[in-house]
Amino acid sequence: MGPDPIDVAVGHRIRVRRKWLGVSQSTLADHLGVSFQQVQKYERGANRVSASMLVRIAQKLETSVGELVGETAEPVADASLFEKLAVPGAVQLLEAFASVQQPSLRTAILNLTRSLIEDAAEQPTRRAR
């Protein structure tokens, strides 16, 4: 059984906020008195964040505990978005994509990605023949 979806969502909110502010995992870890590996585990949802730790994280990331646990007045995104962002490399891919200025280049990147996914999906079928 994998991490609880709530822990994953909280971890992702922490990660997104940390990256938004340009705070490294090591800097956050030093502030919290834990290892950067522990911060990684929090962000993946592998380890649950205690209430006291959540308060300290919120203070360092200049936000509220409510924001980190998803209790905002308006839902920012559904849980499936946070699950998708939990995939290793997803945030980096999104950041890279967002940095592309030309709409035609963004379209080309999307088309290439879709093509690679389709090719990968067909691979098991090709081997079975």
Using CA atoms, how far apart are residues 20 and 10, in angstroms rounded to an integer? 15
Res 127 pLDDT > 60: no
Residue with tokens 């997104």: 16
- Can you count the helices (H) and strands (E) in the chain? 8, 0
Using CA atoms, how far apart are residues 119 and 101, in angstroms rounded to an integer? 27
Do the Cβ atoms of 54 and 69 come closer than 8 Å? yes
Using CA atoms, how far apart are residues 57 and 103, in angstroms rounded to an integer? 36
Which one-letter amino acid corresponds to residue 69? V
**Mean pLDDT in residue range 47-51:** 95
Helix (H, G, I), strand (E, B) or coil at 78: coil
Q: Which range, 66-70, 75-79, 81-85, has the best average confidence (pLDDT)?
A: 66-70
